[in-house]
Structures are given as structure tokens and as C-alpha cells.
Amino acid sequence: MSELILLVEDDPVLGPSLQQRLVLEGFSVVHATTLAAAREFLGKRVPSFVLSDIRLPDGSGADLLREVLSQHGAVPIVYMTAYGSVDQAVELVRDGARDYLAKPFNLDELVCRIQELLLRPLAPQVDDPFSTFGLSASMRGVRSMLNRLAGIDLPVLLIGETGTGKEIAARYLHAKNAAQSRPFEAVNCGQLSPELADSTLFGHEKGAFTSAHDRRIGVLESVGEGTLLLDEIGDTGPELQLKLLRVLQERQFRRLGASQDLAFKGRLVCATNRDLEEAVRDGVFREDLLFRINVVTIRVPPLRERLEEVAPLITAFAANAAQRMGLAPIPASAAAVLAAEQHDWPGNVRELRNRVERAVALAGGAELTPADLFPENATRLLQPASHASGGPETAQSSSSIGFPSLAEVRDQAERTHILRALDETDGRLQDAAKLLDISRTTLWERMRRHGIDRSTES
């Protein structure tokens, strides 16, 4: 093989070990220990595959993902982490990563996974990114406003609860602009410490501070003439607010440690789930900055105010999830849709998407049921409201009487069946997958979900 792999891992033991093993397998490997080094490489060469830790000394794997997607499109990227969660995995895969490995992992399986991804082209998405954006009357109003603003370079403030789709709205605005081929950068201000915020946004020169071993280009510079989304702008501190105010007023910024200003040429979109006017009254947000960023304010309504979107969103999310997981399409039952329309959706569209993706992965029937979407309510959904001889207080949940739920029984049966297949094939995953009539990728996902240690199934 002559495929070029970019390995991004700062662990002084694991990094060289992975590099050595991949070289022995015939790959060409470039080992970067920082995000800055990876960015420098990506600016010069196109890798065949990227294997990266999620947590890096000078940034995150999500930063690297944006870099890879913006520069090299469909290059497969797989993450490694000892600190990851299911939520992180879902977000990264949804954003374009191809897989997620929890440390420690078996090196043989890692090699097989790399080979499989290199041989298999990325499946096209079922729908375009905005096919589900603007399905209700209120969201069509949002979409119409964004269409009108697309060619006008004015700051836009998107307000709405967490998970309503503010980033999708920002991406839609960018896509409708003549500059859509230029970069789109999104920064979550609520996740940045004051120190990291300066470096991430403005960049720094080599030697600007103790750990600044290389020059770093900030997003204000890398976005060029594209669109910069500052998410959770209401969570910024007073020092950063003052610096952002200068950027908006003067359209200039300066890297940390630099002596010259640089021009900000991009479009700024801000988003928040906070009441910024109240934050101004409380003295935690600058009024002059609010005046600058809310030239045009658009409210993205919560999902409970646009329940007519629930059914088509379930259909779209389920189709995309099934395709990505290599599963057969699975429709939602009428009862599942009804249950979803009666749910309050505190997490909005993000919660709906997460529930649908989990349901598709774990569903045991021919269609999604209310218990698949709301497993926490499975017992209540399956039992009558009361016994014939008594009132509601006489009904007992399955957990209170030690009786397992249907979901628990289904999961245990699936785990047992997978273990039996592995036993029948002496742990050979490819043969076990054929025996179970699923893809090897799906088998890996199910094994991970059920806590089956792949390192022991070689």
C-alpha cells in the first residue's frame, strides 16, 4: 500500500507505537503531535486518511475536522479518545467523521477499519443539508428572511433555545451567499476559556506566550471572506467582548504577539440562547456590542412551536442514520410519530435527531415504536394506565417488581446472539458479520454498544 495517513496524537507512547504499526502494514505515515502541525501538513499535502485524538494540546479534534473538510472534502477521518462520550461520537460522526474508537483498542481491528474505509467510498447523503430546514410556517419565515439577507453584508443575531437549529440557519445564510465557496467557521464561545478564546479567534505568533511554539492562524483570519458564526456569544467575558467590539467597529484584529493589524474580511453571524438585553441590564454584556451584533435579529422558534415538522424530521433523520450505519431503512410507526408530537422537546431538534439515531441503531422490529424513541418511558407505554380492580396507584412499574422491560430483554438477546456468532467463528469479525447477515461496521457498532471487548475477539 502507498496510502498516506496523517496521524495526530500527542501521547509520547501511543503516537510512535501507532506510527510503527501502520508503517509495518505498508502505509506512509506523517505523525503530528499538535493541531498546528497537522494544519501545516494539510496546507501542503492531501492525506488518504486521518487518524486523530480528540483532545490535542492546542485545540480539539473538532477543529481538525473542520480543517480537513474545508481543505480536502471527503478524506476519511477517525477519532481516538479515552475521554469521549456517546454525545461526542454522535456529533463528530454527524459533522463528517467516519468513525470513533475508544481507547484502548485492538490494533488489528484499527488496521482493518482503515483498510475498509479506504476501499469504500463515502455514501452520499440521503437529502441535501437544508431539505428539512423551513418545513413549518414559522421556519419558512426564517428561511425567507435569510434569503433576503444573503446578499447584504450586515451582522445577524440568531436567538433561540439550545438545539433549535441556529447553526443550520447560519449555514443556510452562508450557502445562499455569493461567497458560499469560501470558508464557514463556527466557534462555540461557551466552550472556550479566556486564554483559548484569544488564540482561537485572533491567532498568535510564535513565542507570544510560554506554550506558543508555532504561529497559529485564528479563525478571524482563516475565515477570509467567508462566514464566521460566534455561537453562544452571550457567554463571552468582558475582555473578549471589548476585542470583538473593536473587530466590528474597525474591521481589524491583531494576532497575539504581533505588531501589525490584519483586516477582517468575513461576515459575522452571532447566536445565543440568552436574553442579551437582560444580560446588558445585569451588567454582564456590553450594550455597545449588542448594538453592533443585532443589526438584524432573527428568532429561531423551538420545536414545540412547530410540531408539524416532527414527522418529516423523523423520516429524514431515520433515513440518514440507517444509511450511515449500513442498516436497512426503517420507518416510524404512527404511534411513534404521535408520541413524538406529544413530547415537549426541551432539547428541540437536536434531541429529536439524537433520539431517532439511537432508535434506528437499537430497533428490533420492522418500524420504530414509541418505546424505541422514548426508552425511558417504555414500561409506562407498554402497561395499562390502571388495573381493572384498582386505581392508578395500584399499577407497578416493571422495575419496581423486578421484571425487565422489553428493551432490556431485546438488548440482552442481541448481545447473547453476537457472542454466540463470535464463538461460532472463533472471533473472526468478518465471518461473524456474515453469519449475522450484517456488515462488519454494523457488527463493530453493536459490539461497542453492548460492551463486548473487541480486543479479546481477534
Name residue, grid cell 477543529: 63
Identify the band that residue 431 occupies on the pLDDT scale cut at 50, 70 and 90: confident
| Confidence band, pLDDT 50/70/90 cuts, at residue 400 | very low
pLDDT the model gives residue 168: 94
Query: What is the 3-state composition of the chain as percent helix, strand, coil, each rounded to the nearest 5?
Result: 50, 15, 40
Relative to beta strand 262-263, strand 99-102 is unpaired
- 150 and 259 housed in the same domain: yes
pLDDT at 345: 95
Confidence at residue 44, expressed as pLDDT on a 0 to 100 scale:
82
The answer as to whether 398 is a domain residue is no
Closest CA to 78 of 96, 99, 48: 99
Tell me, what's the pLDDT at 406?
62
Comparing 387 with 326, which gets the higher pLDDT?
326
pLDDT of 403 over the 70 cut? no
Backbone angles phi, psi at 52, to 5 degrees: -140, 145
Does residue 73 share a domain with residue 143? no
pLDDT one-digit tens code per residue, 141-169: 999 999 999 888 899 999 999 999 999 99
352 plus 261 within the same structural domain: no
Residue 57's closest CA among 77, 37, 71?
37
Within-domain flag for 37: yes
3-state DSSP call for residue 260?
Answer: coil
386 or 144, greater pLDDT:
144
- pLDDT tens string 286-312: 999 999 999 999 999 999 999 989 999
Per the structure, the count of domains in the chain is 3
When pLDDT is averaged across residues 209-223 and rounded to a whole number, the result is 81
Higher pLDDT, 348 or 215: 348
Stretch among 133-142, 159-168, 173-182, 375-384 having the lowest mean pLDDT:
375-384
Q: What is the band of 455 on the pLDDT scale with cuts at 50, 70, 90? A: very low
Give the integer Cα–Cα distance in Å for 145 and 139: 10
Q: Quick one: pLDDT at residue 54?
A: 84
Q: What is the CATH number of the domain that holds 173?
A: 3.40.50.300
Please tell me the predicted confidence (pLDDT) of residue 88: 65
| Predicted pLDDT at 388 | 38
CATH number at 48 reads: 3.40.50.2300
Q: Is residue 123 over pLDDT 50?
A: no
Assess whether 168 and 223 both reside in one domain: yes
Q: Which of 38-52, 150-164, 170-184, 231-245 has the lowest mean pLDDT?
A: 170-184
Q: Tell me: do 329 and 296 sit in the same domain.
A: no
Angle at 373 between CA 370 and CA 378, to 5 degrees: 55
324 and 356 together in one domain: yes
More confident residue, 416 or 373: 373
**Residue 98 has what pLDDT?**
79
What grid cell was written down for 399? 422495575
Give pLDDT, residue 125.
45
| pLDDT value of residue 408 | 66
419: pLDDT confidence band, cut at 50, 70 and 90? confident
For residue 5, the SS3 value is strand
Asked whether residue 396 is domain-assigned, the answer is: no
Among the candidates 243, 273, 301, a domain finishes at: 301
In a domain, 194, yes or no: yes
Percent of the chain with pLDDT over 90: 37
Residue 153: closest CA among 125, 179, 114, 190: 179
Average pLDDT of the chain to the nearest whole number? 82
Q: Tens digits of per-residue pLDDT, 74-110?
A: 688 888 876 555 556 557 766 777 777 777 778 887 8
Of 71, 72, 70, 50, the C-alpha closest to 61 is 50
Closest CA to 363 of 351, 342, 378: 378
pLDDT confidence band for 16 (50 / 70 / 90): very high
Domain ranges, residue 426 = 315-380+406-456
- Tell whether 129 is covered by a domain: no
Check whether residue 322 and residue 295 sit in a common domain: no
- Rounded mean pLDDT of 127-137? 77
Look at residues 301, 336, 369 and tell me which one is the last residue of a structural domain.
301
Alpha-helix runs per DSSP H in 209-309: 219-222, 238-250, 276-281, 287-293
Among 37-51, 128-142, 277-291, the minimum mean pLDDT is found in 128-142
Alpha-carbon torsion (432, 436, 437, 440), positive or negative: negative
Cα 440 to chain centroid, rounded:
23
pLDDT score of 1: 44
* DSSP-assigned states of every residue in 41-76: HHTT---SEEEEESEETTEEHHHHHHHHHHHHTT--
The pLDDT assigned to 394 comes to: 36
25 and 98, same domain (yes or no): yes
154: in domain: yes
Please check whether residues 175 and 255 belong to one and the same domain. Answer: yes
Residues 102 and 164 in one domain: no
Q: Are both 147 and 240 inside the same structural domain?
A: yes
The x, y and z cell numbers of residue 49, run together, are 486518511
| CB burial of residue 13 (10 Å; 0-12, 13-18, 19+) | exposed
Out of 52-56, 373-377, 437-441, least confident range: 437-441
pLDDT for the residue numbered 2: 64
For the residues 248-258, what does the mean pLDDT come to? 89
Do 234 and 342 fall into the same domain?
Answer: no
pLDDT digits (tens, 9 = 90+) for 333-382: 989 999 999 999 999 999 999 999 999 998 888 899 999 999 887 655 44
For residue 310, tell me if it sits in a domain.
no
d(CA 286, CA 188) in angstroms, rounded, equals 19
**Band (458; pLDDT cuts 50, 70, 90):** very low
- Of 275, 301, 327, which residue sits at a domain end? 301
Main-chain phi, psi angles of 214, to 5 degrees: -140, 160
Confirm whether 99 is domain-assigned.
yes
pLDDT band for position 386 (50/70/90)? very low
